[in-house]
Amino acid sequence: MNYYQLVQDARQFSILAHKEQKYGAYPYDIHLGHVVEVLIRNAVGFYSEEDYTLLAVAWLHDILEDTNTSKEQLNIRFNINIAEIVYALTDGKGNTRKEKKEEVYKKIIYNQEAIIVKLADRIANVEFSLIHGNIEKIKKYYTEQKDLENYIKPNISTNLGKILFEYLEKIFTNNIYLIK
């Protein structure tokens, strides 16, 4: 299997699936590429099958939640591992954002790759909000950080997951003046 091509296929598939969606004023692939960039700057490269899986999932992480793509389609197009990780990252059922996110946390604690991509996703969202001065979103993510600490942090078993979590904590510590 050509793993590099797997990542490129995930990128193209996701861009096409999210083509009508926006991330603020930008095409949605700006966000997806930012999640990939967070992984790459934290030593995920083109070195191992796990790296390629993480990069492919980073491109695909919102596809079940935000498009008409099904888990079965991901399984057929990519593989069952990628489909399962993306499914774990997909919001659960619930009446509030908090309830939906708690359902995600209950799924991802059993999958280290899902934890890593979730943390990269959150970092990308917080960094984007800081760059664009969206204080309300920064406050929302800061409020949700306690849930990440309770659900995710105790279940991180990889060095990369620990590095990403520490970086996320540092972002909030260094910008606490915006939140208070």
State pLDDT tens for residues 8-18. Answer: 999 999 999 99
State pLDDT tens for residues 90-105. Answer: 998 899 999 999 999 9
Q: How far apart are CA 88 and CA 8, in angstroms?
A: 22
In this prediction, residues 146-151 reach a mean pLDDT of: 94
Model's pTM, two decimal places? 0.96
Banded pLDDT at 179 (limits 50, 70, 90): confident
User: C-alpha angle with apex 31: 154 to 62, nearest 5 degrees?
Assistant: 65
Residue 161 has pLDDT above 70, yes or no: yes
Cβ atoms 167, 123 nearer than 8 A:
yes
Per CATH, domain 3-179 is 1.20.810.10: no
Rg (CA), the chain: 16
In this prediction, residues 106-128 reach a mean pLDDT of: 97
Ramachandran assignment for 21, one of left (phi > 0), alpha (psi -120 to 50 degrees), beta (any other): beta
Any idea where the domains of the chain sit in the sequence? Answer: 3-179
DSSP lists the bridge partners of residue 22 as: 27
> Given this model, what pLDDT does residue 46 score?
84
Q: How far apart are CA 100 and CA 27, in angstroms?
A: 25
Residue 158 has pLDDT above 90, yes or no: yes
Across 10-161, the runs of DSSP E, i.e. the strands, are 22-23, 26-27
Q: How far apart are CA 51 and CA 93, in angstroms?
A: 30
Q: Which residue has the tokens 């069952």?
A: 80
Tokens of 10: 């995930």
In this prediction, residues 7-34 reach a mean pLDDT of: 96
State pLDDT tens for residues 39-86. Answer: 999 989 888 999 999 999 999 999 999 999 999 999 999 999 999 999
> Given this model, what pLDDT does residue 92 score?
86
> Given this model, what pLDDT does residue 180 score?
74
Banded pLDDT at 1 (limits 50, 70, 90): low
Q: How far apart are CA 9 and CA 171, in angstroms?
A: 32
Banded pLDDT at 136 (limits 50, 70, 90): very high
